[in-house]
C-alpha cells in the first residue's frame, strides 16, 4: 500500500515515515502543498493541515479533484477540521493507532466499491461479503472471511500475525495468535489446497495462487 505523506516538518516526517515503513507501507513524502499536488498517485494520503507554504484545506480540496484516494487529515487542533477528509487524527498519536486508522479507512473505501477482488480463481467481494473459488461460493465464518480479505487485498505480501490481530480482532494481544492459526487451517481446508495460504515462519502468512 502506497502512502503519500504531506508534512513540512522533518522532525515529524522522518520518524513517522520510518514507523510506517516498519508496518509494511511504502511512503512518499511531500514537504510542501505544491509537491503534494505533483506527487505520484497513492492509495491513501496523510495530510498535515498546518503547512508553511499553503492552506491545508485548499490542498485537501485540490487533492480530492486530482486523485481518487482516501485522505486522513493530521491535525494539532482538538476540534474536527472543516475539510472533506475520510478521517482525522489528532496529535499526539502512536504509530499503531495511526496504522489501525489507515487500515480502517482503506477497508471502508474498499467496501464502498462494487468491484470484487480477484486472485487466480478466487473472487472476493467485501461489499456483499461473498467469496467464490472457481465460481463456487465458499462457506466462510466472519473471521475466516476477514482473514482472507486481508490477504487478498495485498496478494503475495506477508501479513504478520500482529497485523492480522489488529485488522480482524482489533487487538494487539499476542496471546490470541494461536487463534489465527486455527482459522487459517480452516481456510486452507475450505480452499481445497493448502498452497493458497503460505506460512512464512516467524512472521505470518501470504496469499498465493497455486
Which run of H or of E encompasses 187? Answer: helix 177-191
Instruction: Quote the pLDDT of residue 170.
Output: 64
* Region 42-63 average pLDDT: 92
Look at residue 92 and tell me whether its pLDDT is greater than 90: no
| 170 Rama class: left (phi>0) / alpha (psi -120 to 50) / beta | left
Task: List, for residues 11-38, the tens digit of each pLDDT value.
Answer: 999 999 999 999 889 999 999 999 999 9
* Region 134-141 average pLDDT: 94
Architecture of the domain made up of 2-109: 3-Layer(aba) Sandwich (3.40)
Architecture of the domain made up of 115-207: Orthogonal Bundle (1.10)
Helix axes 10-22, 95-111, angle to 10 degrees: 70
Contact 124, 116 (CB under 8 A): yes
Instruction: Quote the pLDDT of residue 38.
Output: 94
Which run of H or of E encompasses 45? Answer: strand 44-48
Q: Which of 156, 158, 148 is nearest to 123 (CA)?
A: 148
Quick check: do 2-109 and 115-207 share a fold?
Answer: no
Instruction: Quote the pLDDT of residue 88.
Output: 83
Mean pLDDT over the full length of the chain: 87
Instruction: Quote the pLDDT of residue 91.
Output: 83
Task: List, for residues 62-82, the tens digit of each pLDDT value.
Answer: 998 888 899 999 887 755 566
Task: Indicate the domain borders of the chain.
Answer: 2-109, 115-207
Torsion sign across C-alpha atoms 92, 94, 99, 100:
negative
Amino acid at each position: 500500500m502506497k502512502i503519500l505523506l504531506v508534512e513540512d516538518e522533518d522532525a515529524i516526517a522522518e520518524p513517522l515515515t520510518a514507523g510506517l515503513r516498519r508496518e509494511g507501507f511504502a511512503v512518499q513524502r511531500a514537504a510542501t502543498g505544491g509537491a503534494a499536488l505533483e506527487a505520484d498517485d497513492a492509495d491513501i494520503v496523510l495530510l498535515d493541515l498546518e503547512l508553511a507554504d499553503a492552506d491545508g484545506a485548499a490542498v485537501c480540496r485540490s487533492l480530492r479533484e486530482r486523485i481518487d484516494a482516501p485522505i486522513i487529515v493530521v491535525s494539532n487542533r482538538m476540534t474536527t477540521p472543516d475539510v472533506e477528509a475520510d478521517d482525522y487524527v489528532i496529535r499526539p498519536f502512536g504509530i499503531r493507532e495511526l496504522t489501525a486508522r489507515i487500515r480502517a479507512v482503506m477497508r471502508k473505501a474498499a467496501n464502498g466499491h462494487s468491484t470484487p477482488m480477484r486472485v487466480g480463481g478466487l473472487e472476493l467481494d467485501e461489499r456483499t461479503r461473498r467469496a467464490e473459488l472457481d465460481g463456487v461460493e465458499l462457506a466462510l465464518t466472519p473471521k475466516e472471511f476477514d482473514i482472507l480479505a486481508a490477504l487478498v487485498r495485498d496478494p503475495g505480501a506477508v501479513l504478520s500475525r500482529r497485523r492480522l490481530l489488529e485488522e480482524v480482532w482489533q487487538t494487539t494481544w499476542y496471546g490470541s495468535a494461536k487463534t489465527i492459526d486455527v482459522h487459517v487451517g480452516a481456510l486452507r481446508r475450505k480452499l481445497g489446497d493448502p498452497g493458497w495460504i503460505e506460512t512464512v515462519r516467524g512472521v505470518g502468512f501470504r496469499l498465493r495462487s497455486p
